Structure 1
Amino acid sequence: MLKKNIQFCFFFLCSIIIHGQSSPDFNILADKAFQKLYQNPDDCINYSLSILISDQNIEHRIVLRNIISQAYAMNGDYVKSVNISSQKDEAGEKEKLSYFMQVFANYNLADQYQNLDLYNQSQRIISNLLTDKNLLKSDNIKIKTTVAKLYQLQALNFGIKRNYNAALENLKKSNNYLGFDNEENLILGVENKVILSSYLMRQNRLEDAKHILENTLIFVESRTNYNFLQALIYENLARYYFLKGNYKTSIENLEKGLSKIENNQFYSLRVKFYESLAKNYFALHNDEKYQYNNKLYIEIRTKIDTSAKEGIRYIVRLVENNQNENLEFQQQNESKQFWIITLIFSSIIIILIIYLFTAKSTNNDLKKQSEFFEKQKKWQETHRANLPKEVIPEKTIEKDSNKISKEKENEILQKLNEWEQFDFYLNKNMSLSTLSAQMGVNTKYLSEVINTNKGKNFNGYINELRINHIAHLLKTNPAFLNYKVSYLAEFSGFSSHSAFTTVFKSITGMSPNAYIQEISKNRTS
């Protein structure tokens, strides 16, 4: 999602195209269109369209359409973004574009795919371009900046796949192609720093990320017309303070960032602000402001997602209609139909195998689901009462009397039951030693009591509390049904989306998405 917040830097590449290829008059007009992009995307669109109508230079028109395309993307209108970017001039189709413009066109397609979350398609184009040795060795400033953008885009793709080491390596390569001798390169460098700080936070290197963001903010505030960049940095600083549990300071940074773009739409960035504000107010138990910001987040998120889906359908149709002109389809040959048929039959076989495999485990899953919903009823009653539970051991295990006395065991159980009434187990850093310190109990004793009376080890015990808690919220708070599974995982204290999904299914017998669908169905019925 970070890529969608920083699309604007694409246009510095467009500005570079202008230098050395365009007339001075067009340079001035394009620069003005470029400046309007940061002030108001709608004004930028209207202004650029007025130039596009009268300018018949093919490469000028490509530049203008790319500026307009990204203005639409910044407003979350991906259908119009794809539409204007894909338009061609019939007379220009016969003209041979320069090498750079051909590279630029392929980069633009990769960028469009990235906007629409089609990361594999984007990566195929990038990988193909970066195998061109002439491209990588060129001393031309336009080519070098293009390569910097390609490595940046590849870094974002690696980040989406959680391969942060590879992402950081590609950011370094991107910086190596930047000369920092003009505004375009300076902005790309700022953009790389923001992306870098985001990935450092995901690696739990919070202080390193904060240091980079604060220094970058000082630099950006010394420039003019950098409001969008300032907003982007404030949004990332807010994320740092949220992860540190300093929710009030996080909100202050979000409000500063929003004030920078209050007179513009910028929906692709604005949606991140409302999501973060909702998270912070939720953490502060300010239900009124949480509901307000969550409503704004859902409204804009729904609008953007709907637009993205339509954009995907549109770009797929375009690719199908222009297979021979798109980079990723150049390797296709006359055996295409054969491979399509083969793929269809292979898919059918795979589906049958999956069906047989899942059918085998369905009974077990249904049994587990039934047991979980029964446990949920009891858990909710106990949780609502806010009283210590009477512990009934799941197993009867003979204990060595030398280890812990019955009196001590009951005392620890009492403390555990009281501790369970709060949400401290949602802390991602919760460990056996942390819990023993909080309760003032010997670690070995605490571990023994959990193993004996809860029927599982410490990690299993904490994970079950987390799953019960989030399952309860999904059932009782409709707002949680609108959250992504990745946020539910983070909210519950899990280190990753996959770990949350695995544990959730092992406890409930169904995936988080299936559980959400089941709850939603019961609400509407």
Structure 2
Amino acid sequence: MKIQALILFLIGYNLLYAQTNIKTDSLKNYTYQELQEKFYDYNYDGKSDESKLIAQYYLSKAKQEKNNSQIAEGYAFMYVNENEENALKYIDSMSVVSKKINEDIYPTRIYLLKANIFLKFNNQKEALNNYIIGLKYAKQRNNKRQIALAETNIAYLNNYVGKHLEAALILRYYMDNADYLNENEVEKIRVNLADTYIEINKLDSANSLINRGLRVFKNKDTYRYYQYLILSGSYHLKLKKYQMAIDNLLQCKKYFFTTDDERNKNYTLYYLGESYVGIKQKQKAVQNFAEIDSLIQKSDYIFPELRRVYTYLIDYYKEKKDKEKQLFYIERFLTIDQILDSEFSYVSRELPRRYDKPNLLKEKEAIINELATKKIFFYISLGVLSLILWLFVYLYYKTKKSEKQHRKIAQDLVHSVYESHKVRKETETQNENLSYTEPQENLKDKTTRVIAEEVAKTILKELELFESKEHFLKKGITLATLAKKIKTNSNYLSEIINTHKGKNFNAYLNDLRIDYAISRLAKDKKFSSYKLAIIAEELGYNNEQAFTTAFKKKTGTPLTIYLKEVEKENL
């Protein structure tokens, strides 16, 4: 018999070994990325043996290739289907390898994975500690994805202690704004948010998320479909539509008890029990609550609603006068309550102190900085506005002062037109006399080129005629055309004008025109009423701009102001 047993064992072992080898050999053709996808697919479908095989091969392959980054990833796969002790050992191994890797996801990832392990095995205290530390490192490295993972898991802990409103705010934000999370992570947020909405009586919002999930995953993803179906049961329980809740939850019970999902097993039974309480079927309620206790003894999965479960069982058996079961459930209640109280008290105390308070302080600091920035901006703006105002006032008074000066110049010009005209006549006479005396004495000194006295006299006489007959008003006059007209050359004419008029030809011509304009505008009311373009044309200028520019340059006052003063004098 022993020999037969040994033979059967060896045959079974060889068959298993051969089967494993075939699977392992088939994995050699896959990349790391493909192996990751297969691992997640198997693990998600509840095929733990297959996912373990993938994880083992993945880690072995990475070690053989001495790829530290992939070795760390292999440890992350290995911990998934292990008990708490072994899972933590794998994460510790990952921590050692991560020190050889220059990746900014570490050490945050170590703390977040440890937190997940503690949360899975109902150690909320250590889960919170590790999430808080992980969040600190994630913020230091500004890793948005890891910040989101830490904060959403902290939100789940907020739900655990009954702080549903705080949890809803965080979950809603990341559901709508975290495009850096993968599809599974976002779906997990959506499921938990629907559950949270039920807790805070935002039933329309919850129902919207639930119906979407049922619609999207029906005939596509069985596990997710039943996740939403159990939420549908909870939703109808909240509405006191007990039979609809029972119909949904019985389907969930049939499905989840084929999986290793302890959480959904327990909550399915809990919602079923409460639904039966609602329709006053106490015996069925007790059956489901008692089944929860049986599950807890095997898995150690505990949740806050257990207080309700055990008090109901105690009261039921007290009513039935079944002392033994009453005592049994009292002892079970005291054991569970102590654990719950320890975990609940710690998380309730530490969450506000280590998460909410730092966030509030950060928010306070941000507000203070914003106010300080606004204050600085206000003072800068006030300073700039003051400077602009001062500049405006300065320019205003400068403009006014300039206008006053311009008006004074214009007034003096208008008042002295006749006198100036008389002086100009006298000056012309003097120049005529000088042309026969002074040039005779100094002609050689004043004229740099040798010009005969008779030639100089002739040119000066021609210039007198040019001025008296107002030929300077003709358009297109140049030094060359004037020289040709008075039968001399341009060089002689330029030299005579520079010497005897004290200016070059252009200035000489311009001064004649402006002096004429000053006089005629003051004396000829009709002329001063013309448009500036017409006046400029009559004065020999090509355009209005050339005239106004020349007038300002010659007189020191704008033409418009001079015309205003002329108009005042003519009233």
Taking structure 1 as the reference length, the TM-score comes to 0.48
Higher relative contact order (CA closer than 8 Å, sequence separation 6+): 1
User: Of the two, which has the highest radius of gyration?
Assistant: 2
TM score, norm. by length of structure 2: 0.45
